[in-house]
A and B are shown apart, each in its own frame.
Chain A
Amino acid sequence: MDKVIEITNRAVADYGFRQAVLYGSADIARRWGLTGPEQEALEGMAVELLSALPIPVPPEDVAVEQSRLEALIRATR
């Protein structure tokens, strides 16, 4: 699940990358070589969480949001 967390962390910090994940998660999964369960987590839980973030995430909140999303994604596995 580390790759999914890496992708999610980047998507929290960078809105452009977030758009690539939100509207092209299958493409991102392919480029990152995700396994089936990893792709499922990205296209499901991660996309849902990323969709709810503000645009952009304020710099002071990035680390907090990254930790929050990581905990939620890991908790579902």
Chain B
Amino acid sequence: MAGRLDDKVAIVTGGGSGIGRVTCQRFVNEGAKVVIADRNRSGAEDTRALLESGDDDTAVSVVDVADATQVQLMVDQTVSKFGKLDVLVNGAAILIRTPPLVEVQEIDWDLTMDTNLKGLFHCCKYAIPPMVANGSGSIVNISSMSGVRGVAYSLPYAVSKAGVIHLTKVAAGQYTSQGIRINCIAPGGIDTPQMRGSTASAGAFEERGTEHPMGRVGRPDEIANLILWLASDEASYVSGSTYIADGGSWATAE
């Protein structure tokens, strides 16, 4: 049976854990060749070990997306190894909890923006040219509900994720006519190591589920399914959109 990403080549940043890891699994299962990109080498290699694929169909790229030179190298090596680049999933991000605005330290602002927004900009900047040369491509940017409605626990994170939504819209306006679809997903609370780590305690994490209209937080595969659809040709008429995937939480709050 044909896979939904047969013959596609994808880079997944943040592929070493959480949503990124499950996305790599879904992509490989649908026939894609996948580059697992992450700063965390052991996490990326663990993801690769989980994939039901030959080594020729996957690669690990240890990359700090905040560093333009490293990102350019990642894209160049991908095209060199697999011949092209069809899909970019921008999942790499950090979440540093901060006090209210007046007390936010500049270094926390910079760390967050450099990874979450500048890093995503770098990845788009270097991925789009080979996609344009190939006549098509799909970029899926991972924002957050924090970027839609804001959150009190981290101003830099919320602002960076709002920036991801706007970058998506502007970039789609610039490159859709050249065959590049650029979309965004804003997940609500998802059960990932990052979310568990950024929640004060295991008890507090469990409470988040009980307060949710579905009685639980989301699973990484529930976001990966949406990423897969946007990456695939099934979403051929979709570009410049941001999809909220929060299990109805925001709608209920409204």
Interface residues of A (CB under 8 A from B): 14-20, 22-24, 27, 31-32, 55-56, 58-59
Interface residues of B in 173-231 (CB under 8 A from A): 193-194, 196-202
Which residues of the other chain, A, contact B96 by a CB distance below 8 angstroms? Answer: 14, 16-17, 20
Q: Nearest Cβ in chain B — how far from A11, in angstroms?
A: 10
Known A-B contacts: A16-B95, A56-B201. Give 6 more (CB < 8 A).
A15-B198, A20-B111, A20-B115, A23-B39, A23-B64, A59-B201
**SS of A interface (majority):** helix
Q: For the complex, what is the distance from the CA of A32 to the CA of B198, rounded to whole Å?
A: 23
Q: Is B84 among interface residues, defined by CB-CB distance under 8 A?
A: no
The answer, yes or no, to whether B107 is at the interface (CB within 8 Å) is: yes
13 contacts across the A-B interface (CB closer than 8 A): A15-B194, A16-B96, A17-B96, A18-B197, A19-B94, A20-B111, A22-B40, A23-B64, A31-B107, A32-B107, A55-B193, A56-B201, A58-B201
Residues of B within 8 Å of A24, CB to CB, are: 39, 64
Query: How many residues in B have their beta carbons less than 8 Å from beta carbons of A?
Result: 22
**B97 interface residue, CB < 8 Å from A?**
yes
B110 contacts chain A at the CB level, 8 A cutoff: yes
**Cβ distance B196 to chain A, nearest Cβ, rounded Å:** 6
Q: Check A27 against B194 for contact (C-beta < 8 Å).
A: no
Q: Which residues of A contact B110 (CB under 8 A)?
A: 31
Tell whether B128 is near chain A: CB-to-CB under 8 Å. Answer: no
Give every chain B residue within 8 A of A20 (Cβ-Cβ). Answer: 94, 96, 111, 115
Which of A20, A22, A55 has the most chain B CB atoms inside 10 A of its CB? A20
Contact A31 B111 (CB under 8 A): yes
Given A15-B194, A56-B197, A59-B200, are A23 and B40 also a contact pair (CB < 8 Å)? Answer: yes
Question: At the interface, yes or no: B140 with Cβ under 8 Å from chain A?
Answer: no
A23, B66: Cα distance in complex, Å: 12
**Which residues of B are found within 8 Å of A15, using beta-carbon distances?**
194, 197-198
- Specify the chain B residue showing the minimal Cβ separation from A27: B64
Q: What residues of B have a CB within 8 angstroms of the CB of A56 in the complex?
A: 196-201
A16 adjacent to B197 (CB under 8 Å)? yes
Name the one of B40, B66, B198, B202 contacting A16, with C-beta atoms under 8 angstroms.
B198
